[in-house]
Amino acid sequence: MDFKVADLSLADYGRTEIELAEHEMPGLMAMRERYGAEKPLAGARIAGSLHMTTQTAVLIETLTALGAEVRWASCNIFSTQDHAAAAVAVGPEGTVDAPAGVPVFAWKGETLEEYWWCTQQILDWGTDAEGNQRFANMILDDGGDATLLVHLGVEAEKKGEAPDPATATSTEQRIIFEVLQSSLAASKDRWTNVAREIIGVTEETTTGVLRLYDMMREGSLLFPAINVNDSVTKSKFDNKYGCRHSLVDGINRATDVLMGGKVTVVCGYGDVGKGCAESLRGQGARVIVTEIDPICALQAAMDGYQVSTLDDVIETADIVITATGNKDVVSVDQMRRMKKNAILGNIGHFDNEIDMAGLETYPGVVRKNVKPQVDLWTFPEGEGNAIIVLSEGRLMNLGNATGHPSFVMSNSFTNQVLAQIEVFTKPQDYPVGVYVLPKHLDEEVARLHLDALGVRLTTLTDDQAKYLGVSVEGPFKSDEYRY
Ligand code: NAI
Summarize pLDDT for 355-399 with one digit per residue, the tens: 999 999 999 999 999 999 999 999 998 777 999 999 999 999 999
Identify whether the C-beta of residue 267 lies closer than 8 Å to the C-beta of residue 312.
Answer: no
Please identify, by atom number, the ligand 1 atom nearest to the C-alpha of residue 349. 32
Beta strands in 260-349 (DSSP E): 263-267, 286-290, 306-307, 319-322, 342-346
Identify whether the C-beta of residue 339 lies closer than 8 Å to the C-beta of residue 315.
Answer: yes
Please identify, by atom number, the ligand 1 atom nearest to the C-alpha of residue 208. 34
- Mean pLDDT along residues 239-249: 98
| Segment 83-136, tens digit of pLDDT | 999 999 999 999 999 999 999 999 999 999 999 999 999 999 999 999 999 999
Ordered by start, the domain boundaries in the chain are 8-198, 241-400
Is residue 137 part of the annotated active site? The answer reads no
Q: What is the mean pLDDT of the chain?
A: 97
Is residue 471 part of the annotated active site? The answer reads no
- Catalytic member of 74, 76, 231, 246: 74
Look at residues 146, 390, 350 and name the one whose alpha carbon lies nearest to residue 246: 390
> Is 2.30.290.10 the CATH classification of the domain at 241-400?
no
Is residue 172 part of the annotated active site? The answer reads no
| Segment 461-471, tens digit of pLDDT | 999 999 999 99
Q: Decide: 293 in ligand 1 pocket, CB within 6 A.
A: yes
Is residue 238 part of the annotated active site? The answer reads yes
- Same CATH topology for 8-198 and 241-400: the answer is yes
185 has pLDDT over 80: yes
- Assigned CATH for 8-198: 3.40.50.1480
Residue 54 region by backbone torsions, left for phi larger than 0, else alpha for psi between -120 and 50, else beta: alpha
140 has pLDDT over 90: yes
Beta strands in 391-449 (DSSP E): 434-435
- Mean pLDDT along residues 411-439: 98
Does the model's pTM come out above 0.95? yes
251 has pLDDT over 80: yes
Which amino acid makes up residue 368?
A: K
190 has pLDDT over 90: yes
Q: Decide: 270 in ligand 1 pocket, CB within 6 A.
A: yes
* Band of residue 1 on the pLDDT scale cut at 50, 70, 90: confident
Task: Enter the ipTM.
Answer: 0.99
